[in-house]
Structure 1
Amino acid sequence: MRPALVAACLLFLAPITGSVWATGSHVVMDPWMVCKKARKMRGKLADICRNETELLKQVARGQAKGVKECGYQFRARHWNCTAQRRSMRRILLKDTRETGFVNAITAAGVTYEITRACTAGKLVQCSCDKAKGGGGGGGPIGGLSGNAALPPGDWQWGGCGDNIRYGYRKSRDFMDARYKRRSDIKILIKLHNHNAGRLAIKNYMKPECKCHGLSGSCTLKTCWLKMPTFREVGNKLKDEFDGATKVISSNDGKSFMPEERSIKPPNRANLVYTENSPDFCEANLKIGSLGTQGRHCNATSQGVDGCNLLCCNRGFSQKTVNESVNCRCRFKWCCDVTCDTCIDRRVVNTCH
């Protein structure tokens, strides 16, 4: 890649990249750093870095979306998916459940943003998906997962759906192309979890329909396929995290299998890992744990956000916090809003 183009990419992406997840000397999903390291490479990744600057912008947006969703999904867990650089670097050096989720949600975020950009007409290389889903009137639907409910009544394929095929392919081209040693168990695990993240979108596309008919009678519907919300994608991957399978390398050195022979082999959509997670209760920067001291907890909950679990039975303190808030707001003609100031008192529980 020419130096001028590298500099242009950096300026183009600087406002978006924000938090960075890093492992060793490699920055995970920082498009500029990936392209800088790939400038002597050939193939699909090099082509993207040289010729598809707008696509790199969507990759960066997808990374940021993954960071945000990871934080939401683990907000009440011992490990809360902090984007703090030193902590995340240590986490990603291992092949734990947490690493698997990070790789999956990042791949899902990149796929989501590229697909959405296609539909919105932001990428010159693609557009929304005008291909028919297959069948019609309740017939077989090509490419539609059995997880999606069919539209009721009379309907036909039409409109312009989300181009998940392009988003899936470009996410794979950018994220997977630099990993060549596929016999390495760590790389096999990473690529598998990348793909599981993409499938959490592709396998859950669902129809969206528009009614046609006199006076809104909806005698016929035109339907197309839309992506699930990214919160639904995050929820699905969180479920996969909870049920992730611990695996070991197979004898052929090119695949993996469950560590326990009694466990059902994972499918392409399941998350996998090879190392047990460390104890995240106490701060330990050697393993990337920030601990739970100082975290807010729910004293009335028996779930993972409850003070006993979140504080790891160390106890917690309570204090009442007073905050000034606007209340009893009134609209005055024309055109002011006046409010009183009220004191909002709430109890905050903090882990010892």
Structure 2
Amino acid sequence: PRPPHSLPSLLPVNALPTSALTGREPLVFLPGPFSNEPSSGKAHLKQCEQMTLTRRQKRLCRREPGLAETLRESVRLSLLECRYQFRSERWNCSLDGRGSLLKRAIKETAFLLAVSSAALTHALAKACSSGRMERCTCDDSPGIQHREAWQWGICGDNLKYSTKFLKKFLGQKRVSKDMRAQVDIHNINVGIKAVKSGLKTTCKCHGVSGSCAVRTCWKQLSPFHDTGRLLKFRYDTAVRVLSVTNAATGETELTGPRRQSQSLRSTDLVFMEDSPSFCRPSRYSAGTGGRSCAKDTTCQSLCCGRGYNTAMHLTTMSCHCQVRWCCHVECQTCQREEEVYTCKAA
């Protein structure tokens, strides 16, 4: 039987259809018992042991100083971005019910898999260019002038190494006809592709009087918030898929029934079943009771028609600020009453 998911798993790019989820890949959404010690020496080894990794992954972690810190950074990126993108949704990426939710092939699980793989891809590429990983360095794309790049203190984000290392770190297994595994792997690859789509070439000119006698170029990833926004759009336009058998190869494939004349795109997030409402406490979430909302925009949907409570809160803020010569700003402190709206409990 397929191992249950307790958290999102990560898989390498181009894994479909030769990799399968094992349920033992890095678990990147629940905060682990991470140490605050720097990732060096015994502290690095301790951090590797504290993480929920396979035996093989722990060996790789121990041999790769900086990897434990990078995995921890991917936790932070994915969790913060998920919570930001769903701050006004009924499901707000809370940790409540995460294990139960991940057992179902719903849109929320699709987003979790995509944002987690995107965060690890992004964090690894940044770790290479910042020198936090010993076995990788700047991007080595053709045409990038490393000599000038190092001279001017510029180092490109190494997405090529990042995706290659992911494949090695996360391993591969045969998918066979497991539709759920194919769905999960597809969504994981959507996250990696979202990071790739934000990779840009940036150039800087050097020369006398601003001329472009010498041009230094390097690869640079977009801020992760841009990736999160793209994945939220993919979530909003996610495609419900079915399983079909390819008559030519006999292999099981995914198809989107609502795209009659167009095959499923590799950038579509996909799901297999409808999501729960998330309105009331359940094994999937804590519900929306007590959640803050905006009276004119989100309260109706977020509160699921139960209505909302109104309260007055006194807030302190800076006001009447003036600039004093030359560089000093003086402000007064003001208090203001604000109406705060919270959803009524179920």
Shift of residue 56 of structure 1?
2.8
- Write the distance in 2 (CA, Å) between the matches of 1:278 and 1:179: 31
Aligned match of 1:74: 86
**Which residue of the other structure, out of 138, 142, 160, is the alignment partner of 1:165?**
160
**Residues 34 and 194 (structure 1), Cα distance of their counterparts in 2 relative to 1, 3 Å cut:** farther
Shift of residue 46 of structure 1?
6.0
Aligned match of 1:280: 278
Shift of residue 339 of structure 1?
6.1
Q: Is the 8 A contact 1:324 1:343 kept in 2?
A: yes
Structure 2 matches for 1:108-187, cutoff 5 A?
108-133=118-143, 160-175=155-170, 177=171, 179-187=173-181
Q: Is the 8 A contact 1:130 1:159 kept in 2?
A: no
Per-residue CA deviation, residues 100-153 of structure 1 (Å, 9 max, x unaligned), is 10001000111111100100111111101143358xxxxxxxxxxxxxxxxxxx
Aligned match of 2:103: 93
Structure ranking higher on relative contact order (CA contacts 8 Å, 6+ apart) = 2
Moved more, 29-38 or 68-77: 29-38
**Residues 316 and 174 (structure 1), Cα distance of their counterparts in 2 relative to 1, 3 Å cut:** same
SS for the counterpart of 1:283 is coil
SS for the counterpart of 2:66 is helix
SS for the counterpart of 1:250 is strand
Are 2:305 and 1:313 aligned?
Answer: yes
- Write the distance in 1 (CA, Å) between the matches of 2:291 and 2:219: 41
SS for the counterpart of 2:87 is coil
Per-residue CA deviation, residues 205-226 of structure 1 (Å, 9 max, x unaligned), is 1121212232224466432221
Shift of residue 58 of structure 1?
0.6
- Write the distance in 1 (CA, Å) between the matches of 2:49 and 2:111: 22
Are 2:322 and 1:324 aligned?
Answer: no
Shift of residue 64 of structure 1?
1.9
Are 2:332 and 1:348 aligned?
Answer: no
- Write the distance in 2 (CA, Å) between the matches of 1:183 and 1:34: 34
**One-letter amino acid of the structure 1 residue matched with residue 80 of structure 2:** K
Aligned match of 2:3: none
**One-letter amino acid of the structure 1 residue matched with residue 336 of structure 2:** D
Are 2:75 and 1:63 aligned?
Answer: yes
Structure 2 matches for 1:251-290, cutoff 5 A?
251=245, 252-260=250-258, 262=260, 264-285=262-283, 288-290=284-286
- Write the distance in 2 (CA, Å) between the matches of 1:74 and 1:110: 20
Which runs of 5 or more structure 1 residues have no equivalent in the other structure? 1-19, 135-157
Are 2:292 and 1:296 aligned?
Answer: yes
Per-residue CA deviation, residues 53-74 of structure 1 (Å, 9 max, x unaligned), is 4213212211221011000000
SS for the counterpart of 1:67 is helix
- Write the distance in 2 (CA, Å) between the matches of 1:293 and 1:216: 59
Shift of residue 340 of structure 1?
4.5
**Residues 339 and 194 (structure 1), Cα distance of their counterparts in 2 relative to 1, 3 Å cut:** same
Q: How many residues align?
A: 296
Shift of residue 260 of structure 1?
4.5
Shift of residue 187 of structure 1?
1.6
SS for the counterpart of 1:68 is helix
- Write the distance in 2 (CA, Å) between the matches of 1:22 and 1:203: 22
Shift of residue 35 of structure 1?
6.8
Q: Is the 8 A contact 1:111 1:170 kept in 2?
A: no
Moved more, 229-238 or 23-32: 23-32
Per-residue CA deviation, residues 217-274 of structure 1 (Å, 9 max, x unaligned), is 4466432221011010001111111111111222245432224462633222221111
Aligned match of 1:246: 240
CA RMSD of aligned residues (A): 3.3
Are 2:182 and 1:188 aligned?
Answer: yes
Which runs of 5 or more structure 2 residues have no equivalent in the other structure? 1-5, 10-21, 33-46, 145-152
**Residues 83 and 289 (structure 1), Cα distance of their counterparts in 2 relative to 1, 3 Å cut:** closer
Q: Is the 8 A contact 1:179 1:187 kept in 2?
A: no
**One-letter amino acid of the structure 2 residue matched with residue 323 of structure 1:** T
Q: Is the 8 A contact 1:104 1:198 kept in 2?
A: yes
Q: Is the 8 A contact 1:115 1:167 kept in 2?
A: yes
